Structure formats: C-alpha cells, structure tokens
Structure 1
Amino acid sequence: MNIRIPAILTAIVVAASAHAEVTISHGYSAFGDLKYGPDFTHFDFANPDAPKGGTMSQRQLFGTPTFDSLNAFIIKGDSAPEVSQHIYDSLMARAYDEPDALYGLLAETIEYPEDLSYVAFNLRPEARFHDDTPVTADDVVFTINALKTDGHPYYRNLLADVVAVTAESDQRVRFDLAEGAGSAFPGDLAELAILPAHFYDENPFDETWMELPLGSGPYMVTSVDAPRTITFCRDPDYWAADLPVNVGRNNFDCFAYEYFVDDTVGLEAFAAGEYTMRVEYRSASWATGYDFPAAQKGWVKQMLLPDARPANAQGIWFNTRRPILQDIRVRQALEYAFNFEWTNETLFYGTYNRTDSFFENTDMEATGLPEGEELAILEPFRDQLPPEVFTEPPHIPYAGSSSPRDRTALRAASQLLDDAGWIVGDDGMRRNADGKLLSLEFPDDSRSLERVMVPFTENLQALGIDVNFEILDPSSWSERRQTFDFDLSATAWQVQITPGAELRAFYGSEAAAAEGSNNLTGLADPVVDALIERAVQSETREELTVAARALDRVLRVKNIWIGNWHLGAHRVAVWDIFGMPDQPAPYDFNRGVDFWWFDQEKYQALVDAGALEDAF
C-alpha cells in the first residue's frame, strides 16, 4: 500500500517503528480490512455525476419539537441537532456501506501502534473554517478538552479514555489513550466534530447562545427563526468539496428545517408543500394520513427504505434512583401493564415487532442459554447474577393480547405488587405498610406518543397505581430529564453498529451519577461495568458480538425498561423532486440523504402542474 506521508512526519514514523509496529493509513476500521484503497475516488454508493442545486426542506431531525440554542455540545438549553450534522467537519468521514470504516477528511492520515497506546492524526494543511482560518491541531486539542470538561455528559463519558491530547505541530495531533480503550475508540475520536478554538473566545463553550456557529463543513447557518426554522446553505468555498469522501455528496444548495410542536400540523404542512421531505415516525399517519390530493395525484411518494443498523433502544425506562422502582417486582409488574399486542394491532396497524433486546436486529442479541465463549465471560460473575441468567433464555417481555385490558397480564402484575408489599386498600389504591401511596410520575413532551401511553397508564391505574402521565412543554421536560425528576421516561437511543465507549454513557456506573447523562435508569452495577469494558476492549468483531450478547443478557434480566417496538426500515415521504443513488448506503439513512440531489426536471414538472410554487 502506497501512502503519501508529509515529509515532516517521516522521522516520527521511523522512530516509532523502532519500538513497535505502527500503522499509517488513509482510513481506519476497528475490525478487518478497509473496502476502499488509498486511491479511491468516491464511495460506491455515491453518484459522482449528481447535479448540484436546489433545497432539501424537511421537518426537524429526531422529532425534537423546539430549539433555543445553537450550541449543540452542552447540556444546557435545547439545541438544534441539525447544527452538528451540517456545519462541522470531523477528522475522518464514515463510509456507510461498511459497518465501522472511516476515511480521511480533516485528517489526511491516521497513525497508531499495534497496542493502541496512542493514535495520531495528520491534518490536511488546506483545511479551513468558514472564516478562512486554518484548522490546526490546536483546534482539535481545544475541542477534546472542552468536551471532556464542559461538554454534555455523553461526551465526558465517551472521552474518558483520552489520557492526554497534544498538538505536536500545526498539522499533527496525538491522543494518548488509556490501556484497554478498545479498537473502536480511534473511530469514535475520528468522528467528533472539530470546533474552532478562536470562535469560543467570545462565545463561551459552556453557555447557550444564538450566535451563528462557525465550522469547517460543507454548510453554514444562513438564517434562524427560533424555534420555528433553521436554514443551512452551502459554503461556496468549501475546502473539502473534491475529497473522495465528499464526491457525489452535499448536492443541495441548502437544507431547510421546519419545527413543529404538533406533528399533525407538521403533516398538514407537508401535504400543502411547505416542505418537501418527511421521515414518518407514526404508523397511523403512514397508513391513513397520506390520502391528501398531492399523494393521490402521484406528486408525493411514500418509500420504505431498509435500515441495516441495529434498531434503536426504544422503551419506557425506569428511574431506579427512586426507591419505589428499586424493587424488581414493581418493575416487572409495570412491564405486564404494557400491552404490546393490542398497541401494535390497534394503534400501529400491525407494522412493528416487539423490542426485546438492547441490540435488537443484530447478531449481538442474546438468545437461548449462554454457552461457549459467552458462558465463559459470564462465569466469573455467577455469584453476582441471578441464577436464571445461566438456566433460562434471556428475558422476553409478555407480549400481551388483543384485548386492551389483558386480564392475564394484570393478574400477574397484581400478584407481583402484592408480593412487593403494595396492597390495594378500600379506595382501590395501593399502599405499603407505612401507608405510602404507590405513585409514579411519567412526564413527556410528545403528543404523538400520548395515544400509546394513555392506555398503558390506564392499565397502571387499574392496578391501583397513582400514575401522573403529563405532557410538558419541551423546555420543562428537558429540565426534568437532566435532573432525573421522573419515574418513567419514554426515550429511544441510537445503537451503534460497532458498540464501544458510548455504552458507558448509557449503562455505566459513572454516568449514573452525572446530571443530564444518558443513563436514565441510574444503573450502577459492577458486572455491567465489567461487561461494557469487555465489549469496548474487543479486538475482533467476533469478540465484540459475544461480549455484547453477555451484556444484553444481563441488562435484560435487570428489567430496567419496557422494550417498545422497531421496524427495521425508514418510512420516508417525499415530493417527487429528488434523485437518489440506485444502491443507497445501508448503514445510515439520515446521513445517506447527503447523497441525494435535486432533480430540476421533476421539480419543473410539479411547478407546471401547479403542485409547487417556483421558488428556485
């Protein structure tokens, strides 16, 4: 393999090679070989001839109903998630047709020894922020230190294995890593958005603000009307436009996002042509909501796009910091009250599968009895785990029935609550021996989930539980979530194709004590911590798969959530004005949209038909 190495680095490489084998490469993969060689011209799923122009307008990403900050990296405020997607470049860019491979973007090459005691990135001298300031190693150092010190708890947990980060020259940055950081960790570092240190001289990193952020990526924020709209338009002088990772990418002149607190209003706006691309999260809307005139005339298309990534870890999470929920029998009873079968058939038109696993839709999901290497991983913890981990298949929740009030499930739940000491009184409510009422707070900010959660809470009330399901405004819910001021939370996490250090943020003991962390349940268990580290430190995908199965098995026996549902595909509706690759990237639909393009002929046809106004 012929790799061009800047002359200034040659002595460093030679010296390092005298002590240990050092790899210098144009790309990085945690496990296995890279698909694309150093001379590749574009990703196979990209169309290098895609035309440039037009606007992709869509509803806000991830269902976030509002925003009041453009600082996307801290816990304070409600940030617009699109900011981190469009305006910042990272050291390397992911290839979405490989499970864990990245190729040089800001960094021309990556360097690391066999033991991964450090990783170094050699930056491209031509890299520039939007104000034409060079991107240097000092900016990387600033980014890492800011995220570790004042960033969202997710970043603080993710970066725990960075012992030191050093700018060895303007174009070379080195990360010294803790022992056992894991082979996926260099990829985690390579994907982080790199921030301009000088921008934060006047815009404190740890505060919310609405100043237009500065990045080095393909787009800039050009207009903001918080909390309703945000628009990103192409930097005409984008420094990396012709790099192989960007060929056939970033084809739209602008991305525009419309924010809707009420998703019903959002669908009506889409039907009227106020925006032109929509990911549909509601099965009822998908089944019955697209009968408006534009869809009937074929101007709007519905597409089901496959997703090869793990299903989101979506569920109703129990906050075990609360004494009531520390009794597993109570948590098991609450699980019985969620009737998936009725919910799926009645509300979701039978489109979903039940989520049982924290690694659903992958071979990392635990099945059957533990055996072989998985059993060997679990064996040292036998005396710290329930016996059923070794004697029974992994926990699968009761599916429910076609009746909204499943008597079998409610009887089982009632018995569990009785056994836990929560007895029904003359008033029909459950209290313990001290007379304390079994009361649960269940706040949320999503009207679209209300139709699902109200029947669940009605089942809880039928059991004699005083449950308060309350729809809050987004800022109030965000504040309560950050301080763990809830008993139940309906939340979904994106599961990585190659799980690694981020597992600590969701399930690790250290994250349990960090305000605003992603460890909603407050799980702090040494066995879970040890299994997370086993997964993080896996040297092959086979090792990772087995470690994840062991972790999945243990998490499931702890009943820390009520697993919800998954589809394994994306429901996407578009006004028929876009082109897209013949073979879309299988591993990330959201970023795969970056490889779509505006089809001027299709657009003009809809304008001529009176379907859309001529805005371009």
Structure 2
Amino acid sequence: MRGRRALSFALSLLIAAPASGAAPPPRAAEAPCPTHGIAMHGAPALPSDFHHFPYAEPGANKGGKLRVGLAGTFDSLNPFNLKSGTAAQGLVGNVFQSLMARSQDEPFTLYGLIARSIDVDPARSQVTFHLDPRARFSDGKPITAEDVLFSFDLLKTKGRPQQRIAYGLVKSIDAPDAHTVHYDLSGVGDRELPLILAIMPVLPKHATDVERFSEATLAKPVGSGPYVIADAQVGARLLLRRNEDYWGADLPSQRGFYNFDEIDIQYFRDGNSLFEAFKAGLLDYRDETSTTRWASGYDFPALADGRVVKETLKNENPKGMEGFVFNTRRPLFKDIRLREALGMMFDFEWVNANLYAGLYTRTKSFFDESELSSSGRPASAGERALLAPFPGAVRDDILEGRWRPPVNDGSGRDREMAKRALDLLESAGYRIENGVLRKDDEPVAFEIMVKDRNQERLALNYAGSLQRIGVDARVRLVDEVQYQRRRQKFDFDMMLGQWIASASPGNEQRMRWGSSSANQEASFNLAGAASPAIDALIAALLAATSHDDFITAVRAYDRVLLSGFYVVPLFHASDQWLAHSTDIARPARLPRYASPMFGPTLESWWRQR
C-alpha cells in the first residue's frame, strides 16, 4: 500500500488535511529550494529566467494550416495503452502534455510546463513537483495534484510496459496540497527516475474512462495541450485545431512552438501515394527515407520553379541501430554462433550500391557517430571494471574496439564470406545436406516478417543470400495492424527492428533489452534478450552521477549488445533528408539532439503567408 495524503477539494481547492497514518512529506530543510529544471547530469544549461528554447522562434507567424502525410494507419486516439502501436500520431505534445518539457538542445534536460518547478535531493530519492496554478485542461477544468495521482495510478496499472516498469519502482506518492505532488524514491537507486516521472502525461480524472482505458478508442480525448481534435477518420485523417484558450502559450518552454491554427494529418497505406500527394502540392512537408527518391525522384515542377525546396540537415544526436532482429525466444536462434554466421551473409556493399544509390553508411554501434559508441575505441579501465563480473560477455575484438560488421566484396555472391559463415556453422554442429543447412536433422528455416514493399525488397535480398548457405528464409508481408499485433506478442521469427538512439539512453533500455521485459507483452525487447550483464550495465548507466561515468557505462553496454549478435546491423543515413513547401519555414537554429530533427507535426515551424 502506498502512503498518501488525502486530497480535499471541497473548500475551493484549499490545502488538504493529512490523512490518518499517512507519511508526511519531507520538511523544507530536507530538500533544496524549487528549481526551474532538472538535467540528467549536471545542471540545466538555461537559466531560470530563460525566454525560449534556443531552437524556437518566439516571433514566428501564427496562423494557417499545416498539411502533413504519414505512412500507415491508426485505429485509436489513446497513445498510452497496450494498443498504442496503432494509435494516431501527433497527439503527444499537441493534445496531451506532461509535467515538464524536454529541451532537444541538451542530452536530457527538462523545464517547467504543467509543473512550474521541481525539488530533488542530491541522491534523487525524493522528488516534489509544484504545479502551475494556471494549468488547465482543454475543457477549462484546472489541473490539480489529484489528476497527477490519478494519471500515475492509471498508467502504472494500464499504461504502456515502460510506464508500468518505471512507475512500479516508486515507493510512494502523496499530494500535500492541490498543487504539490511528492514522490518517495528511496532505495530505488535510479537517478533517471525523477525525469521519467516528469515526462509523465497528465490525464484528466474527470474525463477519462478508466474501465475502457485499455481498449482502442476513437472518443475525442480531453488534454492540456495547444490543440484539440477537430476530426478523426479511422486510418485516413486526423485534424487538430488550435485551442485558443491554451493556458501555456506564453511559457518559456512553449514560446515559438505550435504556430499553425490547424494541423491536417493524412494517412497513406502506400508510400508511393504519399510521395505523389507531396509532389502534387497536397502536403507541405516530407521526411525522405528513400535513397532512390532522394537521388533521382525530385525532378517535378514544384521543385524546379521554387515552390518546393530540398534540405540536408545534420545534428549531434547518435545514430541508432536498425537491423534484422533474431527472436531468441525461438529455440532455433538460441545459438549465438548461428546468429553471427547468418549476419555474415548480409551483403551491405552490394545492397547499398544497387538498391540505395550508395548513400547509406553501415551501422557499427547502437550509438553510432557519437561519443557513446564503443566502435574503434579500446575499452577503458572503467569499462573493464564494469565488465569484470561477467567474463565472456564481451568478445575480445569488441572489447578492443576492432570489430566491424563483415565487409563483403560487393558482388552479391562473395564466396569467401560464405566460406567463413559455413566454417563457423560447422564448428557449431551444422552441416549442409542436399543443399539444406541442418543440425540434428532439423533444417534451418524461418520466416522474416515485413510490413511494406521496401522492407520486403530488402528481406528478399537477404533471404537470397542466406539460401546460398542452405538456409530457408521465407519473407512474409503483412499489413500494419497485423504487424504491430504480432510484434507486441513476439509472434515472429525474424523482423526488422529499429532502436532510435538518444544522447541520454536510460530507462527505455530496460524495455528494449532488459531481462524484465523479455516476456512482457508489447515491450520493445524484440530479441528476447535476458542477460545479467545487460541488466547490470543498464543499472550502471542509470546510476552514473557524472558525464564521464555515464559515457563509460554506455560504451560498456554497447559492447555487450554487439557481442550478443542479437541483430544483423543494417545501415543509416548520416544526414536527415527533407523537402518542404516554401510557404512554411523553420528556425535557422537546429536542435542539437532531436531525432528526427522535427516532430511529425513540425512544432517549431510556421506558415509564411
């Protein structure tokens, strides 16, 4: 049972009297004075009197409509439950907002939003949020501590897996008054947890259907953000309209953002249709992910006459991992030698030259192109100390920074690489019999699940390479809804996974690679990894108190993930490619760590006319 002070809102939301037996909140002398922000390491970069985020334009024009297109579909307006994989995009931030707002110009720093200030002790075992009395939901109801406690309870029991795990660490929560919420985190030892609690969405207790919260729903939600939902057509369209009474428009963390009167989000099941809509001027913005299109597809009239422009942008954020992931819950993929050998058969050099115009870079780390990457760096003494309790968890070549993904000759039929793979397989007890790779009379056969034609093309190429060493890899294309449901239930042999990296990896790593998430439905632990070394290093990066200790822990963690050969690394674009109508504009200053550079609804952009 949680210690909690009862809230009494009967007398015009006056301070509540303590409930009998409830633990009192910390005395003022036990905690520092409230501060305007919190950083994962060190202090916030911006002073308490900052005017706006560096990458926002507070003088931006307000008005007009933004038209954006997204691939896929949706069947729900609730992005916080287990069915959130099929929820509409564009709700978080626009409709729903959290206690504090994240700056994309720092690795992980939060500033005031619904909570105007925060108290945290040096050990981060006690955290108190002070709510802004001006905060309101879109229906005009005030946001109080009661809504925060309600949201915490609801998401802890019915929210997404990462929320359930993180909130489950909290020892107790109480509300001393209508605008104060205190969390007791004593004994947890997780320095990121106060920040995780700070980015919790605040839901309205008076307008949330608890009984049906776990279901997909198209009921228009009540939020506290700058937009409300004007229209929602399942799988086709979401129309957001500015809330003229948005309470937070002049907060420093909000100035210069949310500049459009309406945001029209259109969904396309087919990528070609999405591109054609952009070419025809029906959409204002496009993130380009196709190298073929980027290299040769932008020759339409609107680009030639200046109505559309292309941009290539780059910031400092690490490049994450994307690759074919082995579901190690399947007995076939338990053998790490099999996983490594199958990974050798992905011919990046041929694929990049023939399918992607040579524009991609092979990914060699889960935090590539950043100081967090272990690639090319011998392990430091600090890393070796962290890894010492887990002998064999990291291979020697990875420990020494020498390992790279295998390099093929680019012919598409590299005999030397196939020989290396077969030699490794032979050492693990596999043999080719009548053209079929077998072990203990069982053939090596599995399915690669994909969700679109681009994934299918890549998977078919990889399956063809695997066939050269006797592996039967069948490619199966499924629709988006089926894909997400099978992913959430881990009902696949192999699929394409993506692990977006941030400059401050933290609690989300538990949901991606931690043992506790290996069999938790809808987690992002696609591989089913369950390793004491991984768990210990996630704990180490969360416990780091300095930037140097943090880097040490993340690099050691990177080495353990690479040594597990859970993924066949693919590739990444070092730059972000985008095209947009010249009717819309963005700040010249880019966010240093955003990935992607802009959200799906271009929060920092505006319409010029």
Instruction: Tell me the residue number matched to 2:385.
Output: 376
- Equivalent pair of 2:399/2:559 in contact (CA under 8 Å): no
Instruction: Tell me the residue number matched to 2:175.
Output: 167
**Aligned mates of 2:520, 2:252 — CA distance in 1:** 40
Structure 1 range deviating more: 183-192 or 105-114:
183-192
Deviations 1:10-55 (A, max 9, x none): xx9996343x452420111111222222222222322221110112
User: Which one of 145, 153, 161 corresponds to residue 153 of structure 1?
Assistant: 161
Quickly say closer, same or farther: Cα 1:34–1:202, change in 2 above 3 A.
closer
Deviation at 1:336, TM superposition (A): 0.8
Deviation at 1:569, TM superposition (A): 2.5
Deviation at 1:538, TM superposition (A): 0.7
Deviations 1:550-580 (A, max 9, x none): 1111111111101111223221110111121
- Equivalent pair of 1:165/1:175 in contact (CA under 8 Å): yes
Q: TM-score, normalised by structure 2?
A: 0.92
Is 1:29 paired with 2:36?
A: no
Equivalent position amino acid for 2:98 in 1: S
- Equivalent pair of 1:389/1:557 in contact (CA under 8 Å): no
**Aligned mates of 2:310, 2:120 — CA distance in 1:** 45
Which residues in structure 2 correspond to 1:313-352 (within 5 Å)? Answer: 313-352=321-360
Instruction: Tell me the residue number matched to 1:59.
Output: 69
**Aligned mates of 1:293, 1:562 — CA distance in 2:** 40
**Aligned mates of 2:394, 2:363 — CA distance in 1:** 22
Equivalent position amino acid for 1:24 in 2: P
Deviation at 1:543, TM superposition (A): 0.9
Is 1:71 paired with 2:78?
A: yes
**Aligned mates of 2:513, 2:93 — CA distance in 1:** 25
Which residues in structure 2 correspond to 1:368-517 (within 5 Å)? Answer: 368-382=377-391, 384-385=392-393, 388=396, 392-393=400-401, 395-426=403-434, 428-433=435-440, 435-517=441-523
Spell out structure 1 runs of 4+ moving beyond 6 A. Answer: 12-15
- Equivalent pair of 2:321/2:498 in contact (CA under 8 Å): yes
Deviation at 1:127, TM superposition (A): 0.6
- Equivalent pair of 2:158/2:213 in contact (CA under 8 Å): yes
Deviations 1:345-389 (A, max 9, x none): 22222222111111112211114332221122212323x535627
**Aligned mates of 1:175, 1:361 — CA distance in 2:** 37
**Aligned mates of 2:395, 2:295 — CA distance in 1:** 44
Deviations 1:433-470 (A, max 9, x none): 2x222111111112222222211111112221111111
Deviation at 1:421, TM superposition (A): 2.8
Is 1:88 paired with 2:96?
A: yes
Deviation at 1:178, TM superposition (A): 4.8
Quickly say closer, same or farther: Cα 1:412–1:23, change in 2 above 3 A.
farther
**Aligned mates of 1:333, 1:22 — CA distance in 2:** 55
Is 1:107 paired with 2:115?
A: yes
Deviation at 1:503, TM superposition (A): 1.0
**Aligned mates of 1:165, 1:533 — CA distance in 2:** 23
Is 1:213 paired with 2:221?
A: yes
Deviation at 1:192, TM superposition (A): 2.3
Q: CA RMSD in A?
A: 2.2
Secondary structure of the corresponding residue to residue 278 of structure 1? strand
**Aligned mates of 1:13, 1:124 — CA distance in 2:** 22
Q: TM-score, normalised by structure 1?
A: 0.91
Quickly say closer, same or farther: Cα 1:498–1:113, change in 2 above 3 A.
same
- Equivalent pair of 1:157/1:502 in contact (CA under 8 Å): no
Deviations 1:383-436 (A, max 9, x none): x5356278643642102232122222222222223333332222x222222x22
Is 1:290 paired with 2:285?
A: no
Deviation at 1:81, TM superposition (A): 2.5
- Equivalent pair of 2:448/2:459 in contact (CA under 8 Å): no
- Equivalent pair of 1:43/1:95 in contact (CA under 8 Å): yes
Instruction: Tell me the residue number matched to 2:10.
Output: none
Deviation at 1:525, TM superposition (A): 0.8
Instruction: Tell me the residue number matched to 1:575.
Output: 581
**Aligned mates of 1:501, 1:228 — CA distance in 2:** 33
Instruction: Tell me the residue number matched to 1:607.
Output: none
More helix by share: 1
Quickly say closer, same or farther: Cα 1:314–1:157, change in 2 above 3 A.
farther
- Equivalent pair of 1:182/1:539 in contact (CA under 8 Å): no
Quickly say closer, same or farther: Cα 1:273–1:468, change in 2 above 3 A.
same
**Aligned mates of 2:347, 2:94 — CA distance in 1:** 40
**Aligned mates of 2:93, 2:322 — CA distance in 1:** 22
User: Which one of 575, 581, 593 corresponds to residue 602 of structure 2?
Assistant: 593
Alignment gaps of 5+ in structure 2: 1-13, 17-22
Instruction: Tell me the residue number matched to 1:610.
Output: none
Deviation at 1:584, TM superposition (A): 2.1
Residues matched between the structures, number: 585
Secondary structure of the corresponding residue to residue 496 of structure 1? coil
Deviation at 1:494, TM superposition (A): 1.9
Deviation at 1:252, TM superposition (A): 0.8
Instruction: Tell me the residue number matched to 2:129.
Output: 121
Is 1:16 paired with 2:27?
A: yes
Instruction: Tell me the residue number matched to 1:176.
Output: 184
Alignment gaps of 5+ in structure 1: 1-6, 601-616
- Equivalent pair of 1:112/1:119 in contact (CA under 8 Å): yes
**Aligned mates of 1:421, 1:353 — CA distance in 2:** 34
Deviation at 1:121, TM superposition (A): 0.5
Quickly say closer, same or farther: Cα 1:15–1:343, change in 2 above 3 A.
closer
Equivalent position amino acid for 1:377 in 2: L
- Equivalent pair of 2:60/2:256 in contact (CA under 8 Å): yes
Instruction: Tell me the residue number matched to 1:244.
Output: 252
Equivalent position amino acid for 2:530 in 1: A
Secondary structure of the corresponding residue to residue 593 of structure 1? coil
Secondary structure of the corresponding residue to residue 603 of structure 2? helix
**Aligned mates of 1:283, 1:113 — CA distance in 2:** 49
Instruction: Tell me the residue number matched to 1:226.
Output: 234
Instruction: Tell me the residue number matched to 1:135.
Output: 143
**Aligned mates of 2:303, 2:494 — CA distance in 1:** 38
- Equivalent pair of 2:38/2:195 in contact (CA under 8 Å): yes
**Aligned mates of 2:188, 2:211 — CA distance in 1:** 36
Structure 1 range deviating more: 501-510 or 372-381:
372-381
- Equivalent pair of 1:25/1:111 in contact (CA under 8 Å): yes
**Aligned mates of 1:75, 1:460 — CA distance in 2:** 35
Secondary structure of the corresponding residue to residue 368 of structure 1? coil
- Equivalent pair of 2:236/2:267 in contact (CA under 8 Å): yes
Secondary structure of the corresponding residue to residue 556 of structure 1? helix
**Aligned mates of 2:291, 2:208 — CA distance in 1:** 43
Secondary structure of the corresponding residue to residue 431 of structure 1? strand
- Equivalent pair of 2:362/2:569 in contact (CA under 8 Å): yes
Question: Sequence identity of aligned pairs in percent?
Answer: 35
Secondary structure of the corresponding residue to residue 164 of structure 2? helix
Structure 1 range deviating more: 401-410 or 544-553:
401-410
Equivalent position amino acid for 2:377 in 1: G
